[in-house]
Structures are given as C-alpha cells and as structure tokens.
Amino acid sequence: MIPELDRVLDVGYLDGLPGKSTGDLRAMRLGCADLENGVSFVRRMAQGRVDLMIAEIARRETGSGGDAAGLVAQLPDLLTDSVRSTGSGRLTGDLEPPDEVVGPLTERLDEAAGSGSITGITELSDAELAAGVTALRDFEARLSRARHRLHSTVDAINDELARRYQAGETPTGG
C-alpha cells in the first residue's frame, strides 16, 4: 500500500523484539498507532464513497439519478446512516490522523475508483458506478486486513512490554 505500512506489516518487523530497548518498543507501538489511525481514517473515506455510489445507483433505479443537487441534498442522511464502528479501539491516540499516512493512502484510494469518481458521480455510466463500488470495496477490504494486522503487531509489542514489566525489567521512566 504505502512503504511505511508495508515495512511495519512485513513479517520481519517483529524480529528481535526481546533485544530492543523499551524506548524502541514504545516508539514502534506509537508508529503502529499512527498508521492505524491513518488507515482507519482512509478506510472510512472509502466506505463513504461506496455509500455515495450506491445511493446514486439507487436513485437511478427510481428515475431520480443524474441530479447532483439531489444527491448533495441526501448527503447528511447518507453520512449519518453510514457511520460504522471503527473497530475495537485498541489503538487509541491523537484524533488527527497523520498526513504522512493519510496523504499517500488517499492517493491509493483515488487510484482505486478514479479521482473524479465522486465529484463527477452523476456523469458516470451505470457500469462505471458498479465498477467503482467493486474497486472501492476491494480497497476497503485491503485496508481492513492491514488494520487487523497492525493490531496483531501491537499485541506482540505489548506482550513484550508486559513481559518486561512482570519480570521487573522495565524502568518506570524509560
């Protein structure tokens, strides 16, 4: 997806955890939390785009599609209805997702269905809408899998930190 996410999700990222300093482990955990925050944010963006495309498909089925003003009028309801749980919330942190994660992932999101697919949604053909929904759902699923893998990575880091605390190896300030 993006280099930093690929690096952290690589199987070798967790190699040698017992040999790393406590400060390094905490930095790794913080980096994972930033990635998870950014991945979750862009995943929600993808879900919102899917919801918009599905709404336009439904509007066309009733004969009211192709009207941008009508779709815009529906946005408050669409966005409220599409609020989904962001998961377990195990990785909490700053509410502002980091630009260095969101920017590149948003570029991938735009590539998935086309950068103009939302701004020009009423001009897309039925086939383009259907393809956009499929592409965005696939992209969202990849982000979801990455997010779950980030949780597993953090669990491994937390397990090592907990082991150190239990063994009395971790200073309270370090």
Cβ atoms within 10 A of the Cβ of 93, count?
Answer: 14
Q: What is the pLDDT of residue 91?
A: 43
Between CA 78 and CA 56 the distance in angstroms is: 11
Left (φ > 0), alpha (ψ -120 to 50) or beta: where does 87 sit? left
Q: What is the pLDDT of residue 18?
A: 93
What residues in the chain have per-residue pLDDT under 50? Answer: 84-93, 174
Print the SS3 string covering 144-157.
HHHHHHHHHHHHHH
Print the SS3 string covering 59-76.
HHHCCCCCCHHHHHHHHH
- Residue given tokens 């950014």 in the structure block: 38
Q: What is the pLDDT of residue 40?
A: 94
Q: What is the pLDDT of residue 85?
A: 47
Q: Quick check: 150 and 32 in contact, CB under 8 A?
A: yes
Q: What is the pLDDT of residue 89?
A: 45
Between CA 164 and CA 21 the distance in angstroms is: 11
Q: Distance of CA 63 to CAs 13, 41, 59, 66, Å?
A: 53, 33, 6, 9
Cβ atoms within 10 A of the Cβ of 74, count?
Answer: 17
